[in-house]
């Protein structure tokens, strides 16, 4: 009984120690990635704020190239790094591995002390079968506690990954919805004095002929757009330009009314 219990004890302690050490060994690359990403994002955010200031204060009149946009790119890159860290869980994984290692080491130390207390003054060669069962039951409980810690860490990783994946899918869906094109319906009134109408959207060079009391712009990006109408009157020998602003929401129809008798509406 002595050899059996002692061997089992040492095997279990060795296995638990190896499991705890595994989390230490495998957190190293997470730690390096997390620190690199955090440092990179801090530097990029700082550059994003400094570049426009440097350009406006020192380089605006001397440097032929506008570098202000590099600041926006720098900020966007910093945000991308943080999103990558959040989605792949480098920082959270590093912290999770450290806390798991500490919890397992705490359990090991506590169990070793309990084992010494339980076996203090006992000759394991002469313990009864019932006492042996008590010691083996302690070992079984300890194994269960170590496994529970590993399961909790794994479940935390799964929950975090699923949550990040669902958040990413929601973000992609919302981005897709917010960027889906809409339409602009332009209604015209008091067109009688004019015999030729042309229309364009924003600063497009080409103008489309208007054949009826209105015009429909399809697949327009969300946002504010300027509608320009050029009305020609051969009887008056003059042209008039009318403008209106349309606010297009994603996937919706924006309506604009232009009164050629009273100007812009």
pLDDT digits (tens, 9 = 90+) for 90-142: 999 999 999 999 999 999 999 999 999 988 877 766 777 888 889 999 999 99
Cα–Cα dist 48/167, whole Å = 26
Average pLDDT over residues 44-55: 83
Give the C-alpha distances (Å, rounded to integers) separating 157 from 160, 161, 191, 246, 260. Answer: 5, 6, 67, 48, 64
Residue range 200-255, pLDDT digits in tens: 998 877 788 888 888 999 888 888 899 999 988 877 667 888 999 999 988 889 99
Q: Average per-residue pLDDT in the chain?
A: 86
pTM, to two decimals: 0.62
Q: Which phi and psi angles does 208 have, rounded to 5°?
A: -100, 145
Cα–Cα dist 142/107, whole Å = 8
Sign of CA dihedral 36, 37, 41, 44: positive
In the numeric block, the tokens 């070793």 are attached to 112
SS3 state of residue 140: helix
Is residue 171 within 8 A of residue 86, CB to CB? The reply is no
Average pLDDT over residues 15-33: 93
């Amino acid at each position: 009984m002595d050899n059996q219990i002692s061997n089992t004890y040492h095997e279990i302690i060795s296995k638990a120690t190896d499991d705890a050490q595994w989390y230490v060994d495998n957190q190293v690359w997470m730690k390096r990635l997390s620190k690199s990403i955090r440092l990179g994002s801090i530097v990029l955010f700082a550059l994003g704020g400094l570049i426009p200031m440097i350009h406006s204060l020192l380089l605006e009149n001397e440097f032929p190239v506008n570098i202000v946009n590099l600041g926006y790119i720098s900020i966007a890159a910093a945000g991308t790094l943080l999103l990558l860290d959040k989605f792949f869980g480098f920082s959270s994984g590093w912290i999770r591995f450290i806390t798991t290692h500490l919890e397992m080491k705490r359990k090991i130390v506590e169990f070793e002390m309990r084992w010494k207390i339980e076996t203090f003054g006992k000759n394991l060669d002469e313990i009864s079968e019932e006492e042996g069962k008590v010691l083996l039951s302690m070992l079984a409980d300890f194994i269960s506690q170590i496994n529970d810690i590993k399961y909790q860490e794994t479940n935390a990783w799964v929950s975090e990954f699923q949550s990040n994946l669902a958040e990413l899918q929601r973000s992609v869906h919302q981005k897709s919805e917010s960027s889906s094109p809409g339409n602009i319906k332009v209604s015209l009134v008091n067109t009688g004095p004019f015999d030729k109408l042309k229309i364009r959207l924003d600063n497009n060079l080409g103008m489309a002929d208007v054949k009826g009391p209105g015009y429909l712009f399809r697949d327009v990006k969300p946002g504010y757009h300027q509608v320009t109408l050029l009305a020609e009157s051969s009887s008056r020998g003059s042209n008039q330009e009318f403008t209106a602003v349309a606010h297009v929401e994603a996937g919706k129809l924006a309506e604009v009314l232009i009164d050629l008798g009273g100007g812009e509406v």
